[in-house]
Amino acid sequence: MLGAEARQQTDAELVRDSLAGSEAAFGEIVRRYQDLLYRHAERMSGGADEAEDIVQTSLIKAYRNLESCHNPNRVGAWLFRITANTCKDHLKGRRRNRLSLEDVPALETEVGDPVDALDRKGIQARIDLALHRLPLEHREAFVMKHIEGLSYQEMGAVLGVSVPALKMRVHRARDGLQELLEDLK
Which residues are at the interface with another protein (CB under 8 A)?
A: 23, 26-27, 30-31, 34-39, 42-43, 48, 51-52, 55-56, 58-65, 68-70, 78, 81-82, 85-86, 107, 120, 123-124, 127, 137, 146-147, 149, 152, 160-161, 165, 167, 170-171, 174-176, 178-179, 182
40, 83 Cβ separation under 8 angstroms? yes
Q: Which is nearer to another protein, 2 or 49 (CB)?
A: 49
Least distance (Å) between residue 99 CB and another protein: 17
Least distance (Å) between residue 128 CB and another protein: 9
Q: Which is nearer to another protein, 13 or 167 (CB)?
A: 167
14, 29 Cβ separation under 8 angstroms? yes
Report the amino acid identity of residue 157. Answer: A
**Is the CA virtual torsion 132, 135, 137, 138 positive or negative?**
negative
Q: Which is nearer to another protein, 13 or 38 (CB)?
A: 38
Name the E strands within the chain. Answer: none
Q: Which is nearer to another protein, 13 or 107 (CB)?
A: 107
Angle between helices 23-45 and 48-64 (to 10 degrees): 140
Least distance (Å) between residue 30 CB and another protein: 5
Least distance (Å) between residue 1 CB and another protein: 27
Burial 49-78 (b: 16+ CB within 10 A, else e): ebbeebbbbbbeebeeebeebeebebbebb
User: Could you give the CA distance from residue 167 to residue 84 in angstroms, rounded to a whole number?
Assistant: 18
Least distance (Å) between residue 94 CB and another protein: 16
